[in-house]
Amino acid sequence: MGKAIIPEVEPLDRGQGDRDTLPARKRRAPEPAPRWFFWVPLTWVKNFVGVLLLPVAWVWTVSFVGAFRHATVHQAYWRTEDFWFFVLGALLWLVTFCGSLYAKGEPWLLRWYVWVHEYTHAIWTWLSNGRVSELKVYRDHGHILTNKPTVLVTLAPYFYPLPCVVLLTLFLVVRPFYVIEDAPAVLWGWMLPIQIFLLLMGVCWSFHCTFTVWMIRRGQSDLKMHGNLFSLVLIYIANLVLLSLFLILTAPGVEFGTFANELLFNAKDFGKGVWAFGKKFR
């Protein structure tokens, strides 16, 4: 099956060799740490932060499910073309992904995903005012060398759906000159342009989600770099936020204000539940 996908972010050499060649009189020995001092691995600290983020993930999940249920039951969101064409696109890619795994043992467009993965690292490095010294993309793996392996740079491919961003950018660029929502049917009158856009958005989102889950299950150095628990919780919350944004923009009856109120209500409800649970042990 070939090599495993191990896209990773590695720090650049910041001149350690030059510093080690300085004369002895210019070197300064490190000061000994106090006896009471002890080092805590940074990944432990981040995993502890991941535990603290679990309530946020729970509250956001309950809020998203509640908003989606309200839009579906009371506003008939499931009958809208926005919902169905997005879901259709997602299902088309899901069937393609699972079929290629069954037939070939690896997903279709694997090299394309590796390219997307590594360039997402690079984009977030540039957004962080960092430097990319090397970027390699092969058929089934790749890597990037950067001087800023921060949390956002390292985990960006798992929560930043680059194909969706590119497609949405094209939509926003074309829209002032060509109103896609009001455009006549194309493809011999079978589909409207807005339906094609929603279908492709579903394909791109499913492409992002399936490869993200597949790669996480195979084990990734990106996640280990900042702690597996912290990375997984952060990836989950970030993807859920993006999905919530899509729901707010497309579902009738779901607005930014109503969703924020739902978050606040569920946060208070969660706090009351924790307080009531704690009182039992007093």
Residue 93 near residue 207, CB atoms below 8 Å: yes
Q: Is residue 209 part of a domain?
A: yes
Phi-psi region of 231 (alpha: psi -120 to 50; beta: other; left: phi over 0): alpha
How many residues are given for the chain?
Answer: 282
Rounded to 5 degrees, φ, ψ at 224 are: -65, -30
Task: Write the CA distances from 176 to 180, 194, 235, integer angstroms.
Answer: 9, 14, 34
For 161, the token pair is 């759906």
CA separation for the pair 51, 267 (Å, rounded): 16
Q: Is residue 110 part of a domain?
A: yes
Q: Is residue 177 part of a domain?
A: yes
Model pTM score: 0.81
* pLDDT value of residue 12: 40
Q: Is residue 38 part of a domain?
A: no
Q: Is residue 181 part of a domain?
A: yes
pLDDT, one tens digit for every residue, the chain (282 residues): 444 333 444 444 333 333 332 333 444 555 555 555 557 677 788 889 999 999 999 999 999 999 999 888 888 888 888 889 999 999 999 999 999 999 988 899 999 999 999 999 999 999 998 888 888 888 878 888 988 888 999 999 999 999 999 999 999 898 888 888 788 888 777 888 889 999 999 999 999 999 999 988 887 778 888 888 999 999 999 999 999 998 998 888 889 999 999 999 999 999 988 888 777 776
Total structural domains within the chain: 1
Residue 157's domain spans which residues? 82-247
